[in-house]
Amino acid sequence: MRGEGWPAAKFRVEEFRVPLMKAVIQPPAEPLVAATEATVDLAVQYLAGGGAANLPVKFRSQIQPKTVEGLDGFEDFTFSNGPVVEGIKRRDQASYDEHGETEETEGGDSTAQDAERQPTKRQAPVHSVDLALDHVGGVRTTIPNLPKAVQPREILAELEFRDPNGETQTVAARIPLWPAYVLVGLKPDSWAVSKENLKFHVAVVNLNGKPVASTSVTVDLFEHKFYSHRKRLIGGFYAYEHAEETKRLAAVCEGKTDSRGLLMCETKSPVSGNVILQARTQDRYGNETIANREVWVAGKAEWWFDVTDHDRMDLLPERKRYEPGETATFQVRMPFRSATVLVSVEREGVMETFVRPLSGKQPIVEVPIKGHYAPNVFVSVLAVRGRVSDVQPTALVDLGRPAYKLGIAEIYVGWKAHELNVKVNTDKQVYRVRNKAQVRITAMTLEGKAPPAGSEVAVAAVDEGLLELWPNKSWDLLEGMMVKRGYEVQTATAQMHVVGKRHFGLKAQPQGGGGGRQATRELFDTLLLWKGRVPLNERGEAS
C-alpha cells in the first residue's frame, strides 16, 4: 500500500487441492479430571466412503498450559491459575540479560527493550508413537504419564498420515486436563483498593462455565514484597539486585456461593502494598482447585514496585477500554518516592501533553478521554527524579544521582457505540443430507437494546474443512472498522548524558609512539597560542 492511509483488510488468493481423506481425533467422552492417562480414538476415512484400512499413522502429543477466560457472565475473573508459592526467591539476573542488554551505565539506564519478567520455560517433551489402523480405519491409543494438574492444562494431539497422492496430512485437537470438576475464580473491584475496604468477588463454575451454587470457598491473603538495592558494577555500570518474599497472612473470607455461583467478600487488609488473594474449593470427589489474583492495597506509606535494570517501568491502565467523556486512570509503577512526570497522549505524533508532580504515596495519573482518541491511543509517562540529598556520592559510586523511567500503555477508545452482541442458534445440532436448517440470529447492543431499524446482517455457511486450511477473520467486522493505529513516535532524551558522569576523554592507555616510553605530540591544532595583549619592558622586549 503506497501513499497515506491505513490498511483496513487483506485477502489471499490461494490454489489448494480438495482433501481426499478425513481424519478424526476423538477424546474421551468424560472430562479428564486428575487423570494419569488419556485414551484417544483415532480414525481416518475416505471422503468417498469407507475407512482407510491398515493405514500407517503417527500420533504425537504434548502437554501445554491452558488459560480459562471469556466465560459468559464471568469475563473479568481469573480462574484456577494455581496456588501461591510461599518463601523468599532471589531474582536471577540472567532472566533479564537473556532477552537483551539490561544494565544501565553511568549516563543513564540502558535503552534495551522491556525484558520479560520470567525466564523462558522449557517446553514439555513430545510423546510420539507409530501406529497402524485396523481393517475399519480406526485405532485406540493411550497417552501415559500425565502430570498431576494443579491448574488447567491441555494435550495438543496431532495425527499424521499420507493421502492417496502421497502427501503428508495432519489433523490436530486439544484435549483439556482439569484439576477438579469445578473451577474457582477471583475478581477484585479494582487493581487498587483501600486498606479499610478490601472488596472482591469469588465465583465457582463447572467445566462448562455454568455457575455452581452452595459450594464452600476459603480465601487467604498473602503479602508480596520486593526487596531491591542498587549497586555499582565493574566498568561504570549500575544494576539492581532483587529478591521477593511471599508469606501468608490470614484467612480473610469464607462462605458458600449463592444461586449465581458468586460469593461477595468485604474485609479489611492487615497490610498495604502488593497482596495476593488465593481462593480454594473442592469438588464432590475431594479434588482441589485454586485461583490467585494480585491486587494493590493503598495505604499511607509510599507505593513500592518491582524495578528492573533498564529505563522502562510498568504503566497499568485501570481498564483497557474507555469511552469519550470518561477519565482513564493509570498506575505509574515508578521506583521513586517522588518525581516530576511528563504525560503524553500519543498516536502518529504527540496529541496532548502535561507535566505534574507525582508522589510515591499515590502514583496515579488521570487522563480525560476525548472523542478523537478513537480507535486507540497510547499514553506515555516519563518520570524524572532529581538528586537524592541524603545519599552522598563517593569517588567510586553515586547512588543518589538523578534517574528517570519511561512507561507506555495502550487503551482502546470509542468501541462501545459500534459493538453488537450477535448470537446464532440452530434448531438442531445434527442434520442429514438434504435437510434444511432453521437458523435464528439475535443482535443486540451492549445495553441490551435492539439495533436501529433497517439494520442488516450477513450470513455465510462454509465447510468446516475449509477453515482447517486457513482461519477466516473476515467476519471480525468491528476490528475491521476500528483498525488500530500505530504508535509511530520515537522518544529520546539527552538525560542519559547529563544525569551521569560519563566522559569521552583519554582512555587509561599509554600514548602511542616511542613504545609508550617517550613524550610524543598529541595536540595537532593549527593555532597553538593566542594572547591579545603582551606588554613590553623599557627596552621594548617581551618574553
pTM over 0.75: no
13 within domain boundaries:
no
pLDDT: which is higher, 329 or 311: 329
Strands, E, within 116-215: which ranges? 127-132, 138-143, 153-162, 168-178, 182-188, 192-194, 198-206
169 within domain boundaries:
yes
Supply the DSSP symbol for 211: B
Q: What is the pLDDT of residue 520?
A: 55
- Tens digits of residue pLDDT in 146-178: 988 889 999 999 999 998 888 888 999 999 999
Q: Which amino acid is at 266?
A: E
173 within domain boundaries:
yes
Sequence-distant (≥ 6) Cβ neighbours of residue 249 within 8 angstroms: 220, 221, 222, 223, 270, 271, 275
143 within domain boundaries:
yes
Instruction: Indicate if the pLDDT at residue 112 is higher than 50.
Output: no
Q: What is the pLDDT of residue 108?
A: 38
- Tens digits of residue pLDDT in 191-248: 667 777 888 999 999 999 999 999 999 999 999 888 877 777 776 666 777 788 899 9
Least confident of 4-8, 24-28, 59-63, 205-209: 4-8
Q: Which amino acid is at 347?
A: R
Question: CB neighbours (10 Å) of residue 421?
Answer: 10
Least confident of 155-159, 291-295, 482-486, 526-530: 526-530
Nearest to 109 by CA among 96, 91, 90: 96
Q: What is the pLDDT of residue 104?
A: 39
Cα dihedral across residues 273, 404, 376, 346: positive or negative: positive
- Which cell numbers hold the place of 534? 603582551
- Tens digits of residue pLDDT in 119-143: 345 678 889 999 999 999 999 999 9
Instruction: Indicate if the pLDDT at residue 95 is higher than 60.
Output: no
In the structure, what pLDDT confidence band is assigned to residue 358 with cuts at 50, 70 and 90? Answer: very high
Mapping DSSP onto H, E and C, the string for 272-283 reads: CEEEEEEEEEEC
Domain containing 169 equals: 21-67+121-177
How many domains, the chain?
A: 1
Per-residue pLDDT, averaged over 310-327, amounts to 88
Instruction: Indicate if the pLDDT at residue 343 is higher than 60.
Output: yes
Is there a contact between 327 and 366 (Cβ–Cβ < 8 Å)?
yes
Instruction: Indicate if the pLDDT at residue 270 is higher than 50.
Output: yes
Q: What is the pLDDT of residue 235?
A: 66
378 within domain boundaries:
no
Instruction: Indicate if the pLDDT at residue 505 is higher than 90.
Output: no
Q: What is the pLDDT of residue 177?
A: 94
Instruction: Indicate if the pLDDT at residue 257 is higher than 80.
Output: yes
Instruction: Indicate if the pLDDT at residue 451 is higher than 80.
Output: yes
155 within domain boundaries:
yes
Least confident of 17-21, 180-184, 224-228, 444-448: 17-21
Instruction: Indicate if the pLDDT at residue 465 is higher than 70.
Output: no
59 within domain boundaries:
yes
Question: CB neighbours (10 Å) of residue 158?
Answer: 16
198 within domain boundaries:
no
Half-sphere exposure of 195 (CA within 13 A, CB side): 10
Least confident of 63-77, 103-117, 246-260, 431-445: 103-117
Least confident of 78-87, 114-123, 183-192: 114-123
Supply the DSSP symbol for 200: E
Q: What is the pLDDT of residue 107?
A: 37
- How is the beta sheet containing 364-368 ordered, strand by strand? 314-317, 327-333, 364-368
Least confident of 334-343, 365-374, 469-478: 469-478
CATH for 159: 2.60.40.1940
Instruction: Indicate if the pLDDT at residue 335 is higher than 90.
Output: no
Per-residue pLDDT, averaged over 398-415, amounts to 87
Q: Which amino acid is at 35?
A: A
Instruction: Indicate if the pLDDT at residue 254 is higher than 80.
Output: yes
